[in-house]
Amino acid sequence: MKNRLLLSFSVFTLLFSLYFSVWNSAQQKTAIKTDLEYQIGAILYVQKAAEYRALCYQAFNWAKRMIDEDEKNLKKLPKSERRRPRAVIVDIDETVLDNSPAQAYGVINNKPFNLPDWYAWGEMRKAKAVPGAVDFANYAYSKGIRIFYISNRDEIQKQATIDNLKNVGFPDVSEETVILRQQESSKESRRRMVASKYRVVVLLGDNLNDFAQQFEKKSVEDRFAETDKIRQVWGERFIVLPNPMYGDWENAIYAYQRLTEEQKAQKRLEALELP
């Protein structure tokens, strides 16, 4: 009898503590177990690593140098080129605007990327500028260089995007310079459009598709090969910003397929290189 009482008491205690630990973890964002948990390290790197900030400053400082270099080398250009007005092309998300809070929201609420949440975040106009981006854009603009913001945000997000860019201090932000996705996600035709009127000095992006067509829909290995092929162009005409949170680097791991979160997790594991 005594033993049975003791047993039911310990079972009760166990269940009670289990219930509260589950309840407790549901209250604490840190303890939520989700399929998106793998993203937390990447988001924290953007939000909390001074190294991330340093990389951004490094990229934009280098971009400023490219502008200075361009001025020094102007005389070497053919006359027709010399007279053309100049521009820089920047991507928006994770190049000049930081959407890490939207990523964090997705992880905490266990919601993978989806358009309603993405639009809602855009409507808030709350994205901060990537460190160094505003300074760089103003530097370029002060030299008479136009800034074109080429992004795959949807047209419906245009006003909110313009407002957000202006709010954080970017120059040359207008209907004309903010060029969003129309039908195709490839940015090639939009880059050409800018290049038809301007001499493009430098391009900045966090995704290789922000720079050239040759990276689009390529496998991990082919992305490496294409990157190696033009190795002298990095830091010369193309300047890359770090984005560990998402991008075609990740889509390439999934072979650009529509997969469930479980299938994606499996592909990620399979992609790891082991000793």
Q: In this chain, which of 52, 56, 66, 91 binds Mg ion, going by CB under 5 A?
A: 91
> To the nearest whole angstrom, how small is the minimum distance from the Cβ of residue 94 to Mg ion?
4
Whichever of 94 and 250 has its CB closer to Mg ion, that residue is 94
Applying the rule CB under 5 A, the residues between 180 and 209 that interact with Mg ion are 206
Q: Residue 93 interacts with Mg ion (CB under 5 A)?
A: yes
Contact window for Mg ion (CB under 5 A) among 2-10, 85-93, 121-129, 255-263: 85-93
Query: Exactly one of 39, 67, 88, 94 binds Mg ion (CB under 5 A); which one?
Result: 94
Please identify, using beta-carbon distances, which residue of 112 and 247 lies nearer to Mg ion: 247
Residues between 204 and 243 that touch Mg ion (CB under 5 A): 206
Binding residue count for Mg ion, defined by CB under 5 A: 4
Phi-psi region of 237 (alpha: psi -120 to 50; beta: other; left: phi over 0): alpha
Q: How far are the Cα atoms of 77, 119, 137, 163, 237 from residue 181, in angstroms, in the given order?
A: 33, 14, 22, 18, 23
- List residues bridging with 199 in a β-sheet: 86
Length of the chain: 275
Handedness of CA 118, 119, 124, 128 (dihedral sign): positive
Q: How far is the CB of 129 from Mg ion (least distance, A)?
A: 14
CB-based closest residue to Mg ion? 93
| Exposed/middle/buried for residue 255 (C-beta within 10 Å: 0-12, 13-18, 19+) | exposed
Are 173 and 149 in contact by the 8 Å Cβ rule? The answer is yes
- Report the chain's C-alpha Rg in angstroms: 24
Residue 98 interacting with Mg ion (CB under 5 A): no
Task: Report, in Å, the least distance between residue 97 CB and Mg ion.
Answer: 9
- Check residue 250 for interaction with Mg ion (CB under 5 A): no
The residues of the shown chain that bind Mg ion, judged by CB under 5 A, are 91, 93-94, 206
